A and B are shown apart, each in its own frame.
Chain A
């Protein structure tokens, strides 16, 4: 009896593995229910909503000036970029002209924030592939950027600095000296990190040819930002539809070839270098002058709707704003880049190994605060 059983072919049984929401490499609270067959992933069932705070709905009950604080908390790694997107939407609705100096300050802050965010990505990407050292170097440099933010805006992360019509206050007096010190440090830090991790054999083995997505599929999934550019599509809002003063700078858009994890990683490294170029040019060009257009009384944009798009470190953030003429918006809809990039996860995870799930999710660089909103 026993013998005959051992001769029968083994049944293929699918096993469900629950990854998250408290998994350290899900970068927040994200849950995937993986259906695995041995080592291979055959199905994936993503669950989001663990960090849902109802930001969009909360916006309807707040004054326009107060909403900036909510946008800070949406994508908590690129606060300036988010504030800018919302302020641009309101300015579009009110047809407000922002002073030149304010635009330059905004660009400098946003690009530094992009570098800080990508440094964070660089560190966690190392962690996801089993390299512990890079995160220490990345955080060292990110700390420098954040202490600059603290000197400028008064807060390390939740700045509330970019306001409708300009910025909160002018740059501190020692800003140029600080930047002169910071820029070489950042440059050196990025090169150091690049040398340390990018071409390491283990890192290449973990990333090359993993999670491949071609440009056409990526677009059809609605991906944007570095994740899309890694697939060879040169799409960047800063170039396609320049907002603020981005049309005055000379910078490149790095693109990848294959659209695998390594491309998504390296596009971001290259993007940091381009951001440094933008900051340098902006520092050289920055004019003197007023830093905000004063708005009398409570902000009351006229009836109507506006859509503003900007380039987040994660992709294209869009803010759709409907105003009924009162001091509070009627509706605020955010097109979050992280969420739209996360949609492609199901495609990327098909037929990969369980160990690669972590790397693929990490390479998309999602911020769950923005996915759930």
Chain B
């Protein structure tokens, strides 16, 4: 009898509890602030150019060789607008290969690459997981807005 009542009490307690289930594609669980999602490139708002100089240190340190970068002379530097002599010309990451280890963020000397909170891998197109500089910067701007991330020193 007592056992039955105890069991009933547990049932009653769980009856008035909020459901634990999260309706995934519609709702998302919040991720931790340190969460390592796909890498993105950060945008220097003051100088209106990316932080990345295309120095390739992340490319060399990537365990899966999922990224590539090309460097060019910074046209803004020639005009005297920016202290950066070199800047990234093109950058591409194969997100299907990326293992989200955060090694690129560790080795970057300019804090130009960050791990975003974006973690969904499924895309509509066959090659949509290959992202170029444009997409990376776009995602970076979005991440900067969302997280209010600190501006890196140029």
Contact = CB atoms under 8 A, between A and B. Distances in A.
Interface stretch (A59-67, A112-120, A202-210, A213-221): A59-67
A69 B103 CA distance: 9
A69 B32 contact: no
A70 B101 CA distance: 10
B109 interface: no
Contacts of A81: none
Nearest to A161: B102
B103 A65 contact: yes
Contacts, number: 43
B39 to A, nearest CB: 12
Contact of B61 (A65, A147, A160, A169): A65
A160 B34 contact: no
A158 interface: yes
Most chain B CB within 10 A, of A63, A154, A168, A172, is at A154
Interface in A42-92: 62-63, 65-66, 69-70
Interface residues on A, range: 10 to 19
Interface string A161-172: 000000011001
Contacts of A155: 35-36, 100
Contacts of B103: 65-66, 69, 160
B47 interface: no
A17 interface: no
B63 A151 contact: no
Interface string A303-324: 0000000000000000000000
B31 interface: yes
B102 A160 contact: yes
Interface in A117-144: none
A150 interface: yes
A66 B61 contact: yes
What are the nearest 3 A-B pairs in CB distance?
Answer: A154-B36, A66-B63, A154-B34
24 contacts: A65-B103, A66-B63, A66-B103, A69-B63, A69-B99, A147-B32, A150-B31, A150-B34, A151-B32, A151-B34, A153-B34, A154-B32, A154-B34, A154-B115, A155-B35, A155-B100, A158-B99, A158-B100, A158-B101, A160-B101, A160-B103, A169-B34, A172-B32, A172-B34
